[in-house]
Amino acid sequence: MIRVGVIGARGKMGGEVCRAILGADDLELVAVTDRDARGDPIGEIEVVSDLSAIAGAGTEVAVDFTHPTVVIDDARRCLADGVHVVVGTSGVTPEGLEEIRVLAESGPANAIVVPNFAVGAVLMMRFAEEAARHFDAVEVMELHHDGKADAPSGTAVATARRVGAARAGTWSAPSGDEAHPGARGADVEGIRVHSVRLPGLLAHQEVVFGGPGETLTIRHDSTDRSSFMAGVLLAIRSVGSRPGLTVGLEPLLEG
């Protein structure tokens, strides 16, 4: 039985993670924290705002779905306390990722940081990377609910980096007119990335490639947060046996 704590338990993703853990025979929910500690317990666990409750409950693995502004502090605290960390919070910067790597490699606890826990999203990135070997011209469009704090999404950034590294050429298009800066989206290592935030959406991304006389579109849609839970549970079960830092769900799927 793996003892699990959830940080950000009052959030939509945090609540879904708690329910998934409670439904798993090999996992035990032992601690839940959130800046909003009001309301009913989750399972039989009281929600508290103090992060010390994670280590205090004998947590083996902490799952973080919070906010880009606090996730590194959370990971730093858990790793220092010897608690393995699974980070699902989007918007982790390269500098933050490097700090987590150093802490995980130098201490007793490991970390897994995943931009997107949906298996379909992992396959979408893999297929896009393969297509980039044949198409230099490519742009990324990501669409999310209007409560998502970061833009571009972590999945879009990860996709752009993989595609940019795989393509043979360096195609680029005009950047737009000076009167409308930003119209062409963000530049992520030479790849244009466009972000949409609207109510009614959850998590969607398409990668569009263009070539002479043809286009190729690779798209993934998450229509319910349950799509992420298999990946979250896999990461919880895997983090203790993967020394240091693991980035992305793909290494876990490959064993």
Number of Cβ within a 10 Å radius of residue 37 = 15
Name which of 65, 58, 23, 22 is nearest 41 in CA terms.
22
Could you say which DSSP state residue 11 is in? S
Which one from 84, 134, 144, 180 is the annotated catalytic residue? 144
Name which of 199, 239, 2 is nearest 104 in CA terms.
239
Residues sharing a CB contact under 8 Å with residue 231, sequence separation 6 or more, in sequence order: 114, 116, 117, 118, 119, 122, 249, 252
C-alpha 213/C-alpha 244 separation (Å) is 46
How far are the Cα atoms of 16, 147, 189 from residue 195, in angstroms, in the given order?
25, 13, 16
- Strands (DSSP E) contained in the chain are 2-7, 27-33, 47-48, 61-64, 84-87, 111-113, 137-144, 186-188, 191-197, 203-211, 214-222, 245-247
Which one from 12, 67, 84, 148 is the annotated catalytic residue? 148
Active site residue 67: no
Active site residue 12: no
If residue 230 lies in a helix (H) or strand (E), which one and from where to where? helix 229-238
- Residue by residue, DSSP assigns 111-145 as EEE-S---HHHHHHHHHHHHHHTT-SEEEEEEEE-
Reported as half-sphere exposure (CB side, CA atoms, 13 A), residue 243 has a value of: 4
| Catalytic residue IDs | 144, 148
